[in-house]
Structure 1
Amino acid sequence: MACGGDYRQWPFLTTEEFELVCAFFDRKYVKAELGPTRKIFKIRLRRTLTTGSSYIEILRLLQLPEEKDDLSLAFEKLNSDLDGPGVDVDMLTAAEDADQVRGSFQSLKTTLRPQLQNQHGGAMDSGALPRYSLHSDQPYVTYEVHLHPTYNMPTLWFTLHDLPMGEPTFNLESVYRYLVPPGYKSRLRAAGFTGGISAAPHPVTDVPAFFIHPCQTKEAMESFDCTMANYLMIWLGLVGGCVGLWIPPEMAAEEA
């Protein structure tokens, strides 16, 4: 299926085209049969107040706590960060959901692990994340997809939150420790700040944040043929894995 007619200049996006691909992506999340995964992986379509431009926000817990009460508190914190107009909020009923959600979290990791192994030709090391204090907020990551004003391509921004005491959130080593899978680490370090992980003021808040530099995205996307309904699914499949962002397979199965 040819996609060139769907875009003004494939694979670049105009502002209007980016609005459409974001809306399609948000609809995939809303319609997908995610089950308990929806509790630990949150997506919403957002809009800036100053410019009115759209962007995608994705939140996920870095690791599930062992205690059910702490798990419930973590979900409440994640939901409170998504509270607002037009938000798809799943209310956590009680601790009885904890075992089901933890099983979904492990199932999602098991599903995605072979993808990473196949792409990088080797087994992943355990890469166990540091254990968290039972009395601290549960660490999570916020990903955002914004349209780059110069490259006219989506750009993935990300920030860490509520890391254990003494671990800075705006720190490249923290990014490698908590987000970057083992199979990507050497390649990203070799790329440096050009073509790899970069840092700059966030496009909305102006607070320092990290992003994946979009300079090589064009070449990667040109080898695919996709409609606007699947643009962000393909793009995130290419870009997101290097910082631990994998889209639930149920979203890929959902027809727009």
Structure 2
Amino acid sequence: MFQHHDEYRQWPFLNQEEFELACAFFDQRYVRASLGATRQIFKIRSRRTLTTGESYIELLRLLQLPENEDELSLALSKLGTGVVDPRSGGDMEMDTTEEDADNEALRLNHITSATNPTSNNALPQYSLYSHQPYVTYEIHLHPSYSVPTLWFTLHDLPMGEPSFDIDAVYRYLVPPEYKNRLRAAGVIGGISAAPHPITSLPAFFIHPCQTKEAMESFDCPIKDYLTVWIGLVGGCVGLWIPREMAEDQQEDQ
């Protein structure tokens, strides 16, 4: 009945090696998908911690699209050059392999590079339009549950709105159809808060206690694991895989 479960030591759980492989396949799917301008407002980066060498996935998404191109280029510049925690590895440039064929992405990259200062000594350039709210999602392997766990943080919200605030999460990330269900779930099985697994700064995450039940009825190869998993877990906090990445998965089958 299940053709792909033998790819795992214990489906639907992942050990570290299997998680690393799933991350590599997910990166590859992002690289080769024809995303156009979506590639610039939805970034996927492969990361590796310097302390342990373990991989994780970082995803960045603008919370709202600016109204004009100047605002967009400034926002994209910020998204593409975020501060990297010293305990994590540098970016693995996921956009370069297949982006040459993506004219819209190249056009936006040109705009972005023109607005991004390269000197470390340069004074910061402030603009009324440079601060666009965005969300950072991260996928880490949970050390106890042995399943992926979705962490997320909000950034650059309008003045006076705290980023680490559950009401802001519901306001900016949680779609209306999920709000009652998540609030009813409470801490276990819903949105939880804890120190980030790398930075130890306060962050939110989707508690992984129900991941096993959500995944075990699926029969997906390890190359599709994270795509399926995000489809089950990500929507409640506004994370969806671009249609082009999902179509790429269907073509592989």
Matching residue within 219, 235, 242 for 2:236 = 242
Distance 2:129 2:38 in 1: 24
Q: Are 1:47 and 1:53, in contact at CA under 8 Å, matched by a contact in 2?
A: yes
TM-score by length of 1: 0.82
The match for 1:151 is: 145
The match for 1:161 is: 155
Matching residue within 88, 92, 107 for 2:94 = 88
The match for 2:56 is: 55
Alignment of 1:71-150 (within 5 A): 71-81=72-82, 84-89=90-95, 92-94=109-111, 134-135=128-129, 137-150=131-144
TM-score by length of 2: 0.83
Distance 1:68 1:171 in 2: 30
Q: Are 1:198 and 1:212, in contact at CA under 8 Å, matched by a contact in 2?
A: yes
Q: What's the CA shift for 1:254? A: 1.6
Q: Are 1:188 and 1:197, in contact at CA under 8 Å, matched by a contact in 2?
A: yes
Taking structure 1 as reference, are residues 160 and 44 closer, same or farther at Cα in structure 2, changes over 3 Å only? same
Answering whether residue 45 of structure 2 is matched by residue 44 of structure 1, we say yes
Taking only aligned residues, the RMSD between alpha carbons, in angstroms, comes to 1.8
Answering whether residue 197 of structure 2 is matched by residue 187 of structure 1, we say no
SS of alignment partner, residue 94 of structure 1: helix
The match for 2:198 is: 204
- The letter of the residue matching 1:94 is I
- Deviation string 1:137-184 (CA, Å, 9 cap, x unpaired) is 101000000000000000000000000000000000000000000000
Distance 1:55 1:85 in 2: 11
Q: What's the CA shift for 1:53? A: 0.4
SS of alignment partner, residue 81 of structure 2: helix
146-155 or 67-76: which moved more? 67-76
**How many residues are matched?**
219
Distance 2:92 2:130 in 1: 29
The match for 1:103 is: none
Distance 2:191 2:179 in 1: 11
Q: Are 2:134 and 2:154, in contact at CA under 8 Å, matched by a contact in 1?
A: yes
SS of alignment partner, residue 70 of structure 1: helix
The match for 1:14 is: 15
Q: Are 1:145 and 1:155, in contact at CA under 8 Å, matched by a contact in 2?
A: yes
Answering whether residue 246 of structure 2 is matched by residue 252 of structure 1, we say yes
Q: What's the CA shift for 1:68? A: 2.1
SS of alignment partner, residue 110 of structure 2: coil
Taking structure 1 as reference, are residues 208 and 6 closer, same or farther at Cα in structure 2, changes over 3 Å only? same
Distance 2:36 2:163 in 1: 30
Q: Are 2:27 and 2:94, in contact at CA under 8 Å, matched by a contact in 1?
A: no
Q: What's the CA shift for 1:136? A: 5.2
The match for 2:220 is: 226
Answering whether residue 31 of structure 2 is matched by residue 25 of structure 1, we say no
Q: Are 1:136 and 1:164, in contact at CA under 8 Å, matched by a contact in 2?
A: no
The match for 2:122 is: none
The match for 1:178 is: 172
The match for 2:36 is: 35
Q: Are 1:12 and 1:153, in contact at CA under 8 Å, matched by a contact in 2?
A: yes
Distance 1:82 1:236 in 2: 25
- Deviation string 1:174-211 (CA, Å, 9 cap, x unpaired) is 00000000000000001111100000000010001000
- The letter of the residue matching 1:198 is S
SS of alignment partner, residue 139 of structure 2: strand
Q: Are 2:152 and 2:204, in contact at CA under 8 Å, matched by a contact in 1?
A: yes
Instruction: Provide structure 2 residue ranges, at least 5 long, that are not aligned to the other structure.
Output: 85-89, 96-104, 113-126
